[in-house]
Amino acid sequence: MKDKILGTLYGLAIGDAFGMPSELWSRRKVKDFFGRITTFLDGPAENNVACNFTKGQFTDDTAQALLILDALDKNNFEPSDKLIAEALIKWANETNAFDNNILGPSSKAALNAIKAGKDPSVYTKKALTNGAAMRIAPIGTLFSSTQQTGLVDYVHKVSQPTHDSDIAIGGASMIAHAVSLAIEDKTWDEIMESTISIYDIAVKEGEETFTASIPKRLKLGLEFAETYKGNEEVFAQHIYDVIGCGTLTSESVPSALAIAYFCKDPHYCALFSANIGGDTDTIGAMATAICGAKSGYKAINKDWINMIDQNNNVQLHDYADMLEKERQNRRD
């Protein structure tokens, strides 16, 4: 199980770091500037978000995922709005994330409200962006695939400090559940089928909003994956044009899930996501975490693992031990 948990964590970090240089650039601009991204790269000075990072560094997606785990560990893995918000604000202050375009709009608004002593719910209940989903993959390792209600409830509590809408909780639950299924080595068809079904449970948790259907977009994305199997360029263009690769949960979550299904291998998934355009680091983080959960740590390129270890001041093996212990505690 530790191999699968480590695969999830390194998949998250690798997909994030690979997608960092092209983050929030159009598909055309990514092609024109990079040609094709084939390795870890520094964030270009021309990219006003990625310019804050150097090659091999992951962004806020992985950083926030680990901060949340730290906050959970302090409280015996009982989610605390206060501890999670404090951890996120401390990190944001230390990295100057409020001023450097590193935070997403929903998280930024909610955390600024908390800093000012105001009620953040005016922002959290309307949060349609993917901040909850981008950082949730490790939470999926705590639950078996049959614990759908428990997973959804936990995802909601962990996400609530910044994201409390139905779409945010629904999308995040789908990513976490896909990880739960992947670490149990379910087939890719089983992973997608069950991930679609959990949305109906999860969407009842948050504040009601109006947006496009993630399950229907995912089903369409899976149709594209089958129709254009072996034709990466056409599949990628259909995902970009039709499903969407923007920062909305209703775009990036179904796109990430469809991309994971299409690529299956974490290396291919990280490369594919980095080149698709749009919210490349977040899509890469979500999709490659799922692929890493399925393949496991031992299947991931050791040079890529070393790149993550050398360029980020974290010990992912310690987090894997933490998650494995908590997963076991939940079964004792």
Q: Which of 12, 40, 66, 63 is nearest to 292 (CA)?
A: 12
281 is in an annotated binding site: yes
60 is in an annotated binding site: yes
61 is in an annotated binding site: yes
247 is in an annotated binding site: no
Q: Which of 234, 230, 225 is nearest to 256 (CA)?
A: 225
DSSP string, 46-102: TSTTGGG--TT---HHHHHHHHHHHHHHHTTT---HHHHHHHHHHHHHHTTTTTTT-
> Taken in order 285, 286, 292, 297, is the CA torsion positive or negative?
positive
60: CB partners within 8 A, 6+ apart:
97, 102, 103, 104, 134, 135
Single-letter residue type at 238: H
Q: What is the C-alpha to C-alpha distance for residues 82 and 294, in angstroms, rounded to an integer?
A: 33
59 is in an annotated binding site: yes
Torsion over CA of 172, 56, 306 and 6, rounded to 10 degrees?
0
282 is in an annotated binding site: yes
**DSSP-assigned beta bridge partners for residue 165:** 207
The binding site for Mg(2+) consists of: 59-61, 279, 281-282
The binding site consists of: 59-61, 279, 281-282
